[in-house]
């Protein structure tokens, strides 16, 4: 399932609208256990990379995201 990482940045409503309109199953990652059934991840971001990484780190999702990515590469 496609999962959009919700860490306080990006237009999440746009992702929700497009996937619903195309009848594509999706979900949001708001906590570390939300990664479990993800087959694809979308990390929305706008503007400053530093600001986005700071928010992602503060959300508590960055460490688990790094672990998942290192296993799949």
Distances (CA, A) of 25 to 6, 43, 62: 16, 17, 24
**Which pTM was predicted?**
0.77
Which strand (E) or helix (H) includes residue 27? strand 26-29
Token look-up 């960055």 returns 62
Among 28, 20, 22, residue whose Cα is nearest residue 1: 28
Q: Residues 43-54: pLDDT tens digits?
A: 887 667 888 889
Among 19, 25, 40, 34, residue whose Cα is nearest residue 64: 34
Rounded distance, CA 44 to CA 21, Å? 19
Q: Residues 15-36: pLDDT tens digits?
A: 999 999 999 999 999 999 999 9
């Amino acid at each position: 399932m496609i999962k959009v990482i919700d860490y306080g940045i990006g237009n999440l409503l746009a992702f929700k609208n497009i996937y619903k309109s195309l009848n594509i199953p999706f979900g949001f990652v708001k906590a570390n256990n939300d990664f479990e059934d993800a087959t694809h991840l979308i990390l929305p971001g706008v503007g400053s990379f530093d600001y986005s990484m700071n928010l992602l780190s503060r959300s508590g999702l960055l460490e688990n995201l790094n672990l998942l990515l290192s296993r799949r590469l």
